[in-house]
Amino acid sequence: MEAMQRSYKAQKVIDRMAKKLNRQIAGSLAACVHCGMCTESCHYVLANPGDPTYAPAYKADRVRKIFKRHFDWTGRVIPWWVKADSVYTDEELEELKDIAFGKCTNCRRCSLNCPMGVDFAVVNRMTRGLLVHVGIMPKGVAVVSKDQWEIGNQMGVLKEDYLDTIQWMSEELVDTLGDPGAAIPIDKNGCAVMYTINPREVKYDPRTISDAAKIFYAAEESWTMPSEGWDMTNFGLFSGDDELGGAVARRVFEKAAEIRAKCVVMSECGHGYRSTRCEGQNWAGMDVQFEMESSVVTMLRYLRDGRIKVDRSKNTLPVTYHDSCNNARSCGMFEEPRELLGLVAADFREMYPNRAENYCCTGGGGAMSMSEYTPQRLKSAKVKADQLRATGAKVVVTSCHNCVDGLTDLIRHYKLDMKVTQLVNLVADALVVEKRVAVPVPKAVPVAALAGRTILVIDDEPDVRAFLTAVLEDNGAKVVTAADGDEGLALARKEKPDLVTLDISMPGKDGGKVFEAMRRDPDLRSIRVCVITGRPELRKLIYERPVPPPEGYLDKPVSEETLLTNVRKILEVAGDQKAH
């Protein structure tokens, strides 16, 4: 066999496996004794009783043989006994793809019954990652991964479109509630909650966004949505690509740190919750200082603390709850959604089996984006359809967007008379919003709002200096300017400004160095700093420094209004702190 020529991709897969094996994966590959306890737990097996190729142990053996052959001593000594074998051709890799992506949703139900502690899903995820590494993956996975790498979210939503949509929801909510205070804040600093979502909400169905906003409003929460890093979903979990997983999670974490959010709340998305809260820090190789929670927990907290009131007679249809594999089996969120559901819906009916033992929605693991496997996916959904039908409920509630789609698809296929919804919708429908006295929103910046303030503008571009100077002077500030870092530091010492606007990318001493020098200098330490840069990727030059972060941060081009609002805010907060 060894004389057989191995394809370039097959060799790469073996090389990559050497790097990706960790204790958990190696343990799962080594420990299987082929007892068959896992077989009946898999929804694919249940739908294909005569076909052994769907059994978790069989699927794992396609990878296990490679592991045994190349990485386990038993495979070197007694390969015929342990069924060790290598992989040689691209066709074999294609077959592996059809197993890893098409015959398993990584739901981990099979891991519950294994007496040896084998977690087939970690093996399957690694296999997906090895194949993705050599470019073998379903088209849907490739398209989405590319959008997440390049545009920063899985549906390629551009920043202006995202902001425009949030603005739209914000205006509608303000109209409905008749209170300008119900507007959705963007990038507000120091909030208790930074709310992150799944791109499908903003691209196709933003009703969940306005429902969440209504709940935050009713709870009088200090909250914001971020202008970037708002996509908490992560195709790295599905594709097995840890690098993608890390890059996506990092975007959320960096934004939360930048705006100093105390807690990142995630909308109801199972894989996003698991990726961001449980796996993200490992993939991204970073620790975070803020809390992370599912919006289910947040909403329940509001109810327990009496911050919101609900009337559950608004939701009278019989409801059942579907546990998403990532929320429940992988992250242990079982009781919170049930308690919440009991508070907002009048007629709750349990589904059996449930909690950790619940069956997959059959659309998990990215399956909804792989049309080529749809027929076998829908066939495997029979057990789920039976389970749903037996509840007698008219509404199935789930805290996962993927489950929403998987369930919607199978409900249609098996002609069940049910709707799918999420907790946020039910809570918002049952919400009793008390009429609040509208607080007048401050009018536009009055003239001479900056009277008596000295502001130092440090920027190497003459046009930018001229623009900032004009806007700030028009509003009453005394402005001094510097064209590079050294001149800026000298002027800061001489003029003792109230605020410095600081460019990052400059010849000579860059903004990052100027910033750190200011923070380390006892005389300059208390001067407020607002970074203004056209290159957001450089912000880490500022935030990674071991000194307190800047008070403000703006992207170029900056509008007159944004500049003034932010400068005023920074100076007013400074004033408040000095007064105390």
Partner 1 sequence: MAEFKAGDMVLDVDEDGFIQEPDKWNEKVAAALASGEGVDSLTENHWKVVNYLRDYYLKFGVAPMIRKLCKDTGFKLNEIYELFPSGPAKGACKVAGLPKPTGCV
**512 lines the binding site for partner 1 (CB under 8 A):** no
Query: Minimum distance between the CB of residue 161 and partner 1, rounded to whole angstroms?
Result: 5
Strand order of the sheet with strand 193-196? 223-224, 193-196, 263-266, 291-294
- Least spacing, CB of residue 162 vs partner 1, in Å: 9
Binding-site member from 129, 140, 246, 365 for partner 1 (CB under 8 A): 140
Under the binding rule (CB under 8 A), the answer on residue 197 touching partner 1 is no
Q: Which stretch binds partner 1 (CB under 8 A): 2-10, 153-161, 274-282, 458-466?
A: 153-161
Tell me the two tokens of residue 58: 């069989």
Q: Does 164 bind partner 1 (CB under 8 A)?
A: yes
User: How many residues bind partner 1, per CB under 8 A?
Assistant: 36
Q: Residue 480 is encoded by which pair of tokens?
A: 């001094």
What residue has token string 């559901």? 341
Q: Does the protein bind partner 1 through residue 203 (CB under 8 A)?
A: yes
| Phi, then psi, of 194 in degrees rounded to 5 | -110, 120
Side chain identity at residue 169, one-letter code: M
Per rule CB under 8 A, is residue 147 in the interface with partner 1? yes
User: Is residue 94 a contact point for partner 1 (CB under 8 A)?
Assistant: no
Among 8, 73, 80, 204, binds partner 1 (CB under 8 A): 204
Q: Which of 51, 91, 161, 473 binds partner 1 (CB under 8 A)?
A: 161
Rounded to the nearest whole angstrom, what is the least distance from the CB of residue 191 to partner 1 in the complex? 24
In the complex with partner 1, the residue whose CB is nearer, 17 or 144, is 144
Quote the crossing angle between the two packed helices 56-71 and 120-133, to the nearest 10°. Answer: 60
Residues of 414-432 as b/e, b for ≥16 C-beta within 10 angstroms? bebebebbbbbbbbbbbbe
Of 73-81, 189-197, 367-375, 460-468: span binding partner 1 (CB under 8 A): 367-375
Crossing angle of helices 485-495 and 511-520, rounded to 10°: 30
**Using rule CB under 8 A, residue 307 touches partner 1:** no
Question: Is there binding between residue 144 and partner 1 (CB under 8 A)?
Answer: yes
Q: Which of residues 376-405 bind partner 1 (CB under 8 A)?
A: 401-402, 405
Asked if residue 202 binds partner 1 (CB under 8 A), the reply is yes
Span from 127-135, 154-162, 476-484, 509-517 in contact with partner 1 (CB under 8 A): 154-162
372 is a site residue for partner 1 (CB under 8 A):
yes
196 part of the interface to partner 1, by CB under 8 A: no
Among 59, 133, 200, 322, binds partner 1 (CB under 8 A): 200
10 Å CB burial of residue 569 (0-12, 13-18, 19+) is middle
* DSSP for 206-233, written as a single string: THHHHHHHHHHHHTT--EEB-SSS-B--
Alpha-carbon span 512 to 178, nearest angstrom: 44
Burial (Cβ within 10 Å: 0-12, 13-18, ≥19) of residue 462: exposed
Stretch that binds partner 1, among 253-261, 317-325, 369-377, 468-476 (CB under 8 A): 369-377
Query: In the bound complex, what is the minimum distance in angstroms from residue 249's beta carbon to partner 1?
Result: 16
Which is nearer to partner 1, 59 or 401 (by Cβ)?
401
155 counts as binding partner 1 under rule CB under 8 A: yes
**Coil, strand or helix: which one is 188?**
coil
Do 297 and 261 form a contact (C-beta atoms < 8 A)?
A: no
Contact pick of 374, 454, 505, 565 for partner 1 (by CB under 8 A): 374
The residue among 102 and 476 lying less far from partner 1, judged by its C-beta, is 102
Give the burial string for 36-54 (b: 16+ CB within 10 Å, else e): ebbbebbbbbbbbeeeeeb
How far apart CA 380 and CA 202 sit, in angstroms, is: 31
Contact between 91 and partner 1 per CB under 8 A: no
The only residue of 368, 407, 426, 527 in contact with partner 1, by rule CB under 8 A = 368
Read off φ and ψ for residue 105, nearest 5 degrees.
Answer: -105, 15
Among 156, 185, 318, 534, binds partner 1 (CB under 8 A): 156
485, 490, 274: which is closest to 365 by C-alpha?
Answer: 274
Name residues contacting partner 1, limited to 222-281 (CB under 8 A). Answer: 233, 269
Which position among 22, 289, 316, 371 is part of the footprint of partner 1 (CB under 8 A)?
371
Closer residue to partner 1 (CB): 201 or 459: 201
CA–CA separation, 473 and 266 (whole Å): 42
Separation CA 480–CA 489 (nearest Å) = 12
Binding segment for partner 1 (CB under 8 A), chosen from 11-19, 158-166, 342-350, 556-564, is 158-166
Within 10 A of 394 (CB to CB), how many other CB atoms are there?
Answer: 16
Specify the residue, 8 or 204, whose C-beta has the smaller distance to partner 1. Answer: 204
Query: Of 170 and 533, which CB lies nearer to partner 1 in the complex structure?
Result: 170
State how beta strands 499-502 and 454-458 pair.
Answer: parallel
Q: Which of 71, 88, 149, 373 binds partner 1 (CB under 8 A)?
A: 373
Report CA 503 to chain centroid distance, whole Å.
Answer: 30
Gap between the Cα atoms of 146 and 398, Å rounded: 28
The footprint of partner 1 (CB under 8 A) covers 140, 143-144, 147, 154-157, 161, 164-165, 168, 198-200, 202-207, 233, 269, 366, 368-369, 371-375, 401-402, 405, 408, 412
